[in-house]
Structure 1
Amino acid sequence: MACSNPPRGTYLTYIIQGLILLSAASSILAGEYFLGLSATVAFLLTMAPSLMTKNLRICFPWEINLLVAVSFYLHVMGHVGEFYVTLAPYYDKLTHLVSSVTVALLAFFLAVLADHQGEIRLTGPAIAVFILTATLAAGAVWEIYEFAVDQVFGTGLQLGNTDTMSDLIVDLAGGAIVAAFAAIALARGEEHRFIRLFAEQPSGAEPSEIVGDPIDPARSR
């Protein structure tokens, strides 16, 4: 089911995606083929949210799509612009914080949506744990990726145990920020408002198709 006309904020995502493609092209022209390939993969990954929901009755919030694009753009520019070196170690931690918040928001959105659709029933603490687990899992996968690339290509993405652990701590902090926000929103019973406020309604769909039937307020979280 097609989404409604995209809000103006969506075009910010397109701009960021264009900048990623520009970085890929400039890297290839400069003979930095590995960076060009990495930037191209990053661009494709920014399209994942839209592809995931293409045949569903929902659209990811444009804010989420923008955060995904910004997360990958920061990573790409960290290498192409050498910000990981010139702004070390702060730039690296910034990218991890933005990325972890993005993953955590995705986890929160998906958990609340699944709960509203009646596919699963999650308590507030369970959603908070899911957010933290998903964020840390994504961070661990990223560190494994960096380790594998270093071993295969002889690069220096990882700078030792301290760097890896500090990255994971920042990832945990990002997940904790969103988990705290989720706990407050759920405690106030604002999960329905969250979906109505941020989820774009597919064209021709009724609100009930997006958020499902209201949950009994008496149901304890």
Structure 2
Amino acid sequence: MACPNPPRGIYLTYIIQGLILLAAVSSILAGEYFLGISAGTAFFLTMTPSLMTRNLRLCLPWEINLLVAVSFYLHVMGHVGEYYVTLAPYYDKLTHLVSSVTVALIAFFLALLADHQGEIRLTGPAIAVFILTSTLAAGAVWEIYEFAVDQVFGTSLQLGNTDTMSDLIVDLVGGAIVAAFAAIVLARGEEHRFVRFFTEPPSGAEPSEIMGDPIDPARSR
């Protein structure tokens, strides 16, 4: 599927990616090799959505790509700019909130994709549960990553049980926000505004025709 020409908003993503790459280079030049490698890894991870969808029959909205880039940028600058320390604990919680909302939105799109292709039939409550569990699972994996890095490199990414649990609670809040948003979208029958990203427009069809396709009443929730 050939995705439509990207809107101007996608250039915000490119700017954020450039800032992450700049942080990686500056860290390496300053002799902070661990931070440089971490920032470089984050830069490549921001490209994951585009690389994964390039050969698939779907196009993620540019806002998702931007949120992914912003999530990694906040994390990188938390270490490179030492904001995790100077703005503790608020900066860390902001990073977790933005990241959890990003993961939750991706989970929402995946649920709609699976339902649209007929692979899995999901009700509104099932989609909400999927969003929450996916967000919490991603948060748990992140906490395991921080624990492993602390054990191997002697860093202090985790500051005790209270810090870890509060991070997971913030992750839950981010997931709940998106789950509520998904519930509203499904209740209004507006999932077609998102499903259009998953289907290749028929030849000669106008974008307005695709966006205005009615929803099958049999599939309404």
Q: What's the TM-score once normalised by structure 1's chain length?
A: 0.92
Partners of 1:216 and 1:195 in 2: CA distance: 12
Structure 1 residue 4: deviation in Å?
Answer: 2.0
Alignment of 1:141-152 (within 5 A): 141-152=141-152
**How large is the RMSD of aligned CA atoms in angstroms?**
2.0
* Alpha carbons of structure 1 residues 201 and 80: separation in structure 2 relative to 1, 3 Å: farther
**Matching of residue 112 in structure 1 with residue 104 in structure 2:** no
> What SS is found at the alignment partner of 1:91?
helix
Unaligned 5+ segments in structure 2 are none
- Whether the 8 Å contact between 1:3 and 1:201 is mirrored in structure 2 is no
Q: Residues 4 and 200 of structure 1 are in contact (CA less than 8 Å); yes or no, is this contact kept in structure 2?
A: no
CA contact (8 A) 2:113 2:198 kept: no
List gaps (5 residues or longer) in structure 1: none
Q: Which residue of 2 aligns with 1:9?
A: 9
Q: Please name the residue that 2:44 is paired with.
A: 44
1:57 aligns with 2:57: yes
Aligned residues: 216
The alpha-carbon distance between structure 1 residues 203 and 81, as it changes in their structure 2 partners (threshold 3 A), is farther
SS at match of 1:218: helix
Q: State the 1:200 CA deviation.
A: 8.3
What's 1:158 paired with? 158
Change (3 A) 1:49 1:10: same
8 Å CA contact 1:116, 1:215 repeated in 2: no
Q: 2:21 is matched with which residue?
A: 21
Instruction: Answer yes or no: is the 8 Å Cα contact 1:53–1:60 preserved in 2.
Output: yes
Does structure 1 retain, via aligned residues, the 8 Å contact 2:96–2:170?
yes
Aligned to 2:100: 100
For residues 203 and 45 of structure 1, do their structure 2 counterparts lie closer, same or farther at Cα, with a shift above 3 Å needed? Answer: farther
Q: Which runs of 4+ in 1 moved over 4 A?
A: 200-207
**Per-residue deviation, 1:57:** 1.5
Name the counterpart of 1:88. 88
**Cross-structure match for 2:77:** 77
Alpha-carbon separation, structure 2, partners of 1:28 and 1:109: 37
